[in-house]
């Protein structure tokens, strides 16, 4: 299961729903909004997704995890919209008979998500500046520094 | 030929639009990006982007067809 949602993620409810009689382990991961990144003080974040392709690519990642690890359940929810410090941006839950594969599957899903899924994060800094994460550098390489978003 | 181009994140802000219909003779997805980059000065080289056609990843040399929906994907940062 994967979904994008614009409302807060209820991790406790998601953890409860991920259940099976043969499951001895649930490993869940919460990615939360941190107040700093690469030395800059972060005030809040904005997430934007390309829904059609984000859902398609996440389904592939979950299917790949299901092939690699013997799981009894696997799910992921990602936020969109405006988030404050401490808010949950992403939740991943992996359910299995034993803990080893649940830990590995959970890590696999969040790592692949970060590299492959078309979701973007705009950081708003406490100094009033704002930047799309991972995008500023490629524009600098192209030799066209974009106008400040101040 | 008419192609729908949807923009997200940094490219949406640079273009000032979420979506537009382009009338183009660009034969491939990569040619369309170059055409739009020349027109609007996105300042992002193709090597930093990925392309999607009709909601799936695409190579840059895919031929465009009437009615295709194209998205240029800036570096992702989910999680």
User: If chain A, 150 residues long, is cut into consecutive pieces of 10 residues, what is the mean pLDDT of each piece?
Assistant: 98 98 98 95 97 98 98 98 98 98 98 98 96 78 43
Q: How much is the ipTM here?
A: 0.95
Q: Which residues of A touch B45 (CB under 8 A)?
A: 138, 141-142
CATH assignment at residue A56: 3.90.1170.40
Nearest to A87 by CA among A128, A130, A30, A38: A30
Q: Is B73 on the interface with A (CB under 8 A)?
A: yes
The distance between the two most distant Cα atoms of chain A, rounded to a whole number of Å, is 57
In a domain, A46, yes or no: no
In a domain, A124, yes or no: no
In a domain, A90, yes or no: yes
In a domain, A103, yes or no: yes
User: Would you say A27 and A45 are in contact if contact means Cβ atoms under 8 Å apart?
Assistant: no
* Beta-carbon-side half-sphere exposure of residue B74 (alpha carbons within 13 Å): 29
Q: Where are the domains of chain B?
A: 2-73
pLDDT mean across residues, chain B = 97
Provide the residue range defining the domain that includes A12: 2-38+51-118
Number of compact structural domains in chain A: 1
Q: Tell me the shortest Cα–Cα distance from A24 to chain B, in angstroms.
A: 26
Interface touch A141/B48, C-beta < 8 Å = yes
In a domain, A109, yes or no: yes
Could you say which of B55, B57, B74 has the minimum Cβ distance to residue A135? B74
In a domain, A88, yes or no: yes
Is domain B2-73 in CATH 3.40.50.970, yes or no?
no
| Amino acid A145: pLDDT | 42
| Amino acid A148: pLDDT | 39
Per-residue pLDDT of chain B (79 residues; tens, 9 = 90+): 999 999 999 999 999 999 999 999 999 999 999 999 999 999 999 999 999 999 999 999 999 999 999 999 999 999 9
């Amino acid at each position: 299961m994967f979904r994008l949602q614009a409302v807060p993620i209820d991790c406790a409810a998601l953890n409860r729903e991920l259940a099976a009689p043969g499951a001895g382990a649930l490993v869940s991961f919460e990615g939360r909004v941190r107040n700093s990144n690469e030395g800059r003080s972060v005030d809040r974040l904005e997430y934007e997704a390309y829904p059609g392709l984000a859902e398609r690519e996440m389904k592939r990642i979950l299917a790949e995890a299901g092939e690699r690890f013997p799981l009894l359940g696997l799910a992921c929810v990602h936020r969109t919209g405006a988030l404050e410090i401490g808010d949950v941006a992403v939740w991943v839950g992996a359910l299995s008979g034993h803990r080893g594969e649940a830990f590995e599957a959970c890590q696999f899903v969040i790592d692949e998500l970060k590299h492959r899924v078309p979701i973007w994060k705009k950081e708003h800094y406490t100094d009033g500046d704002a930047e799309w994460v991972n995008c500023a550098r490629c524009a600098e390489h192209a030799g066209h520094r974009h106008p400040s978003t101040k | 030929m008419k192609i729908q181009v949807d923009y997200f994140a940094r490219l949406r802000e640079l273009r000032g639009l979420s979506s537009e219909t382009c009338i183009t003779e660009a034969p491939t997805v990569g040619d369309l990006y170059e055409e739009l980059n020349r027109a609007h000065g996105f300042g992002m080289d193709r090597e930093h982007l990925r392309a999607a056609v009709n909601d799936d990843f695409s190579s840059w040399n895919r031929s465009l067809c009437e009615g295709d929906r194209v998205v240029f994907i800036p570096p992702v940062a989910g999680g």
